[in-house]
Amino acid sequence: MRATLGRAAARRWFGVLVLTLMWLLDAPTAAPVGADAWCVPPEPGPLSVGASMCRQHYAWIRRPAQLANTQGRGSPKAQFWCVVSRRHRFVYHYIPLNGGSTINHIMRLSIGGLLPDHDPADKLPEVQDQAFSRLGEDALQLFYHCQLHEDTANFLHFAFVRDPLDRLHSMQHLGLFWRTNAGHGFARDAPSLMELARSRDLPATFRDSTVMGLDHAVHQHDMLVTADNRFAVDFIGDLAYLPEIMTEALIPALQEHSPYGQTDAHLFDRMRAYFAKRPRLNELRKGAKAHPDELRSARCLILANPAFQPDYKLFYVTRDASNGTLQVCN
């Protein structure tokens, strides 16, 4: 009898131990940012624009006046969509989960001339059933691969980056959105934010758990830097400040660089008006906010994760001018 009770008690304690270990492995590990080695920001990389991003939220790699003799730009390591205007000599490098749908949408409504009677003060209209550009391919055209072509060498290439943790959180919820709306089951569970923060291979972590395109899980630096470590763009903005950057810095530069900047001034004015309203698409894909402790723990994990460090080193880490300590922008 005592032996039976002893075995039952042992089984109960073993079960408690297993559950406790499972909880510890899956639970967020909250730690004060900067208190432990795994929470310390990495050193800025050799191409870092972090100081400019911290100070003014955008960075010029090459000014428009330098583009006529561009020798240093190449094609990015990872390929995604590009929106090209040959008429106005610009290329927008579309990085998934970095406001691309909104930026693309507004360029079609302004530079592409779609729905000219629509009031920019109103909600963004649906344009999925419209031609990409009403003014022709010369005005605006979509390419899947951002390969560098000779005829865009003196174009102004620009992109927007995003805090890696914010982007990872959106990536997780986009994967869940497409999983929920797929209409069938999957071989693997959807990855948690903590799993993704630990991952050294985000596309592999998402594989067989969603119908989201795995190119959405590629890190930002791979879409902006060449294989031989050069920037593939001329201007980089921080998505968190998109309206201000577009209206105050980028659109004026695009208009000045365009041979038809004055002829098509009404199109650039229209683009300013849309961005000034702080528009946002894809609201339905936004998931519930994560708990602050989970976000803080995920931040510590990705700061220590070699797969995420290039994004921080390039865009979001700088030194405090007053004391030289490293700091993360935003």
The alpha carbon of residue 194 and the mean position of all alpha carbons in its chain are separated, in whole angstroms, by 19
pLDDT of residue 159: 97
The kind and range of the H/E element at 92 are strand 90-93
pLDDT above 60 for 127 = yes
Rounded average pLDDT over 143-171: 89
**234-265 pLDDT, tens digit each:** 999 999 999 999 999 999 999 999 999 999 99
pLDDT of residue 70: 64
Q: Are 242 and 248 in contact (CB under 8 A)?
A: no
Q: Are 78 and 223 in contact (CB under 8 A)?
A: yes
Q: How far is residue 196's CA from residue 280's CA, in Å, rounded to a whole number?
A: 25
Q: Where does the pLDDT of residue 291 fall: very low under 50, low under 70, confident under 90, or very high at 90 and above? A: confident
Sequence-distant (≥ 6) Cβ neighbours of residue 276 within 8 angstroms: 120, 243, 247
> Within 10 A of 5 (CB to CB), how many other CB atoms are there?
9
pLDDT above 50 for 187 = yes
Q: Are 196 and 296 in contact (CB under 8 A)?
A: no
Beta strands 58-60 and 317-319: pairing type?
Answer: unpaired
pLDDT of residue 9: 46
Q: How far is residue 158's CA from residue 224's CA, in Å, rounded to a whole number?
A: 9
Q: Please classify residue 140 by burial: count the beta carbons closer than 10 Å to its beta carbon, then call 0-12 exposed, 13-18 middle and 19+ buried.
A: buried
Q: Please classify residue 166 by burial: count the beta carbons closer than 10 Å to its beta carbon, then call 0-12 exposed, 13-18 middle and 19+ buried.
A: middle
pLDDT of residue 114: 97
Rounded average pLDDT over 80-88: 94
pLDDT of residue 110: 97
Q: Are 28 and 194 in contact (CB under 8 A)?
A: yes
**27-61 pLDDT, tens digit each:** 433 344 434 567 899 999 999 999 999 999 999 99
Mean per-residue pLDDT of the chain: 86
pLDDT above 80 for 149 = no
Rounded average pLDDT over 185-198: 96
**How does DSSP assign 200-249, residue by residue?**
S-HHHHHTTS-SS-GGGGS-GGGGTB-TTS-BS-SEEEEGGGHHHHIIII
pLDDT of residue 73: 81
Q: Where does the pLDDT of residue 165 fall: very low under 50, low under 70, confident under 90, or very high at 90 and above? A: very high
